[in-house]
């Protein structure tokens, strides 16, 4: 307000001075006997204050200009905050959906499609480890996704510190003739002692045998329960006709002796031999 008063006072003073300066010659000419037109001076006297008022209206006071700048900056900040808030709401919404899906899968753990959806959702959010864990469960239940598998495999390449066990699964020709080539071979690693939850799972069609495998932490079914968490493991190979890891074709399951994860060597598993009923599956 103070700046507005100063500016207006200066404007009025300038206008009065301009009018006074212009009126002096007008009055002198009016007293002179010579005929002279006073119209230019009168117009000038009118236009000077008019232009001054117009200038004030267009420029405004310094305070007004500053206020407009501050308002614009505030609106920009509010817009940024609004955008961040909208993004956060979207993230929270996805997180809520994931929480709901995870809770449902706890009561319906055999829902292969649900595990695959959970894996893809974690991939979308950049949670690679959670995506790998959910995908391993989907694979164990017969659901696969080449694009997601390639994404997880690319991450495994940049994690050389992960433990790995290499080996080969074979099957004799006469035994292979007894099963459909599209049936599924599962290669599963479990701790030699303790929890029976698989530490790593792989799958491949029977038609690909002999099949060389590489088991590692990225194939864990449960985060924090990886291959490297066990000192020794037992590797099982079995055939499932329907793609369900819990269903095995009779006579087509075999397992290794305990394998040390720190120095596993190369594991060979031959399918087609019936295991005794007291052996670990």
Which residue, among 21, 15, 17, has the nearest Cα to 50 in the 3D structure?
A: 15
Spatial separation of the C-alpha atoms in residues 227 and 179, rounded to whole Å: 30
pLDDT band at 161 (very low <50, low <70, confident <90, very high): very low
Higher pLDDT, 274 or 204: 204
Task: Give me the mean pLDDT over the 194-204 stretch.
Answer: 89
**pLDDT at 6 (0 to 100):** 55
**pLDDT at 30 (0 to 100):** 56
Task: Give me the mean pLDDT over the 156-166 stretch.
Answer: 57
Spatial separation of the C-alpha atoms in residues 15 and 173, rounded to whole Å: 111
Spatial separation of the C-alpha atoms in residues 137 and 219, rounded to whole Å: 9
Which residue has 């899968």 as its token pair?
A: 105
The answer to whether 198 and 111 have CB atoms below 8 angstroms apart is no
Q: Please say if the pLDDT value at position 83 is more than 70.
A: no
- Helix residue ranges, H only, the chain: 2-31, 39-59, 62-107, 112-125, 128-140, 146-157, 173-176
Q: What is the mean pLDDT of the chain?
A: 74
Q: What percent of the chain lies above the pLDDT cut of 70?
A: 59
Spatial separation of the C-alpha atoms in residues 235 and 256, rounded to whole Å: 5
Which residue, among 63, 215, 241, has the nearest Cα to 142 in the 3D structure?
A: 241
Domains assigned to the chain: 2-60 (no CATH), 163-281 (2.60.40.2990)
Q: Is 251 left (phi over 0), alpha (psi -120 to 50) or beta?
A: left
Task: Give me the mean pLDDT over the 248-276 stretch.
Answer: 85
Q: What percent of the chain lies above the pLDDT cut of 90?
A: 23
Q: Is 48 left (phi over 0), alpha (psi -120 to 50) or beta?
A: alpha
The answer to whether 232 and 192 have CB atoms below 8 angstroms apart is yes
Q: Please say if the pLDDT value at position 1 is more than 60.
A: no
**88-109 pLDDT tens trace:** 555 556 667 778 888 888 888 8
Output phi, psi for 221, to 5 deg: -90, -25
Return the ∠ at Cα 253 (arms to 252 and 258), rounded to 5°.
160
């Amino acid at each position: 307000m103070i700046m507005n008063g100063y500016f207006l006072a200066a404007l009025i003073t300038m206008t009065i001075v301009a009018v006074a300066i212009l009126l002096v010659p007008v009055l002198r000419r009016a007293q002179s006997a010579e005929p002279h037109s006073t119209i230019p001076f009168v117009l000038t006297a009118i236009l000077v204050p008019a232009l001054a008022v117009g200038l004030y209206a267009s420029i405004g006071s310094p305070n007004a200009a500053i206020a407009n700048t501050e308002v614009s900056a505030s609106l920009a900040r509010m817009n940024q905050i609004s955008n961040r808030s909208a993004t956060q709401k979207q993230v929270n919404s996805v997180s809520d959906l994931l929480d709901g899906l995870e809770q449902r899968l706890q009561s319906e753990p055999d829902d292969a499609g649900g595990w695959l959806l959970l894996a893809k959702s974690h991939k979308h959010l950049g949670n690679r480890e959670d995506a790998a864990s959910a995908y391993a469960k989907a694979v164990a239940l017969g659901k696969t996704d080449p694009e997601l598998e390639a994404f997880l495999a690319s991450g495994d390449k940049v994690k050389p510190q992960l433990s790995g066990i290499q080996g080969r699964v074979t099957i004799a020709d006469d035994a292979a003739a007894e099963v459909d080539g599209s049936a599924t071979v599962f290669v599963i690693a479990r701790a030699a002692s303790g929890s029976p939850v698989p530490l790593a799972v792989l799958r491949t069609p029977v038609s690909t045998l002999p099949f060389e495998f590489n088991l590692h932490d990225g194939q864990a079914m449960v985060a924090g329960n990886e291959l490297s968490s066990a000192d020794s493991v037992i590797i099982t190979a079995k055939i499932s006709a329907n793609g369900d890891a819990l269903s095995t074709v009779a006579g087509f399951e075999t397992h290794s002796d305990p394998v040390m994860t720190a120095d596993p060597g190369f594991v060979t598993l031959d399918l087609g031999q019936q295991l005794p009923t007291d052996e670990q599956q």
